[in-house]
Amino acid sequence: MATEAPSQAPSQDLQSLSIAEAKVQEPGSSSSSSNQLSLEEKFKIVRSIGEECIQEDELRNLLEKKPEPVCYDGFEPSGRMHIAQGVMKTINVNKLTASGCRVKIWIADWFAQLNNKMGGDLKKIETVGRYLIEIWKAVGMDLEGGKVEFLWSSKEINSRASEYWPLVMDIARKNKLPRIIRCSQIMGRTEQDELTAAQILYPCMQCADIFFLKADICQLGMDQRKVNVLAREYCDDIKRKNKPIILSHHMLPGLQQGQEKMSKSDPSSSIFMEDDEAEVNLKIKKAYCPPLIVEGNPCLEYIKYLIFPWFKEFTVERNADHGGNKTFTTFEELVADYASGVLHPGDLKPALSKALNKILEVCSHFYSISSNTPLCLLDLSLAFTHALAISSENFISA
């Protein structure tokens, strides 16, 4: 390793920034006991998270046989948090805990360093990791009862090195280089990119994480699919019967035409968790949203994957001569009106902006500077200013 990693995770005495008085609906909350759900109800909730599931029969069998399946998700602490990472992940985690699952969220600090995020500066990476956790707390991730664990890769790997590294080595031995390179998408790279030796090691390590964390379900985005399939192939290599189930969630597109996913490097393509009301309004106003067109329409995707799961409805306010106000209770109903021209982008966009701002309202409190704001947020803005060339005003307001 180019930089020596700490033997312990960042200090746990970071003051929580959650705003107790800020109340938002917590979708999929596990407040009602999962024991009251039938097998089919659990299956329906968990399956709804994934755009793809490999395999459905294995998922149903797991939910029937194991009271608390272990779900694995992970993230590189690599910069600003966009709304898919902040809100969509919260929705999905809360659905899993509501269904009786335990969720292990892998804070991949070493992986971010391998991938040269934040300039490979591990201290900045750790600061970003702590910041992202606090945002999830603020936005309403269900952390009660210990069903969600945040595990730092540096700490966990160091504490069980004799278990982890032989596993990584065995996965590397059993795979040819072209197969590993095909996994480069998991790092935001392409197979044509010139990869460092560290980035060749990365997929072997991520594959090992699944077994190291004893995960029953890999709950990551579609962009992580190839390494999850690699884990199932490895099970064939070692004659392991129980394979990790792949539950790949949808990737929200960027706001501009033809952008398959949001990009942190293109601020206009994404809504970020620290965006204020004016920024959200402007980004949605400029977003690609052609009349009558449903396919490839990012505004409709935001409504489907963020607004409906959060509020269970979507209200459009308009003049009486344009049809008057209307509350949609299903996405299908909304699509029917939009595809027929009954609902115009000029009415849909302001309604979407209003709903997004309501979700992000809790974070406006989070980003307000006060006398008891932890220093980490100030450190974070400095790290971003240095590594991403954006001003601290994007993260904290005077």
pLDDT tens column, 189-212: 766 777 778 788 889 999 999 999
* 277-382 is classed CATH 1.10.240.10: yes
What's the whole-number average pLDDT of the chain?
A: 83
Locate tokens 């040269």: which residue?
116
What is the tens place of the pLDDT at every residue in 382-391?
444 343 433 2
Lowest-pLDDT choice from 39-43, 139-143, 289-293:
139-143
- For the chain, where are the E strands, in sequence order? 52-54, 70-75, 102-107, 148-152, 217-218, 245-248, 314-316, 326-328
Q: What is the pLDDT of residue 22?
A: 32
Predicted confidence at residue 181, as pLDDT, reads 87
Q: Report the pLDDT value the prediction gives residue 286, as an integer from 0 to 100.
A: 95
Structure confidence at residue 149 (pLDDT) = 96
CA atoms within 13 A on the CB side of 390: 15
What six digits make up the tokens of 288?
């690609």
Residues 6+ apart with CB under 8 A from 326: 315, 316, 318, 337, 343
Other CB atoms within 10 A of residue 251 CB: 18
Instruction: Specify the residue for token string 């849909």.
Output: 348
Q: What is the pLDDT of residue 13?
A: 32
Instruction: Check if the beta carbon of residue 327 is closer than 8 Å to that of residue 335.
Output: no
**pLDDT confidence of residue 114:** 81
Please state the domain extents for the chain. 39-249, 277-382
Find tokens 């899993």 and name the residue.
96
State the average pLDDT over residues 271-278.
91
**What are the structure tokens assigned to 142, written together?**
């269900």
163-185 mean pLDDT: 91
Q: How far is CA 55 from CA 44, 58, 182, 218, in A?
A: 14, 5, 22, 12
Provide, rounded to the nearest whole percent, the portion of the chain with pLDDT above 70: 80
Identify the CATH class of 39-249.
alpha beta
Q: Model-level pTM? A: 0.81
pLDDT at 157 over 60: yes
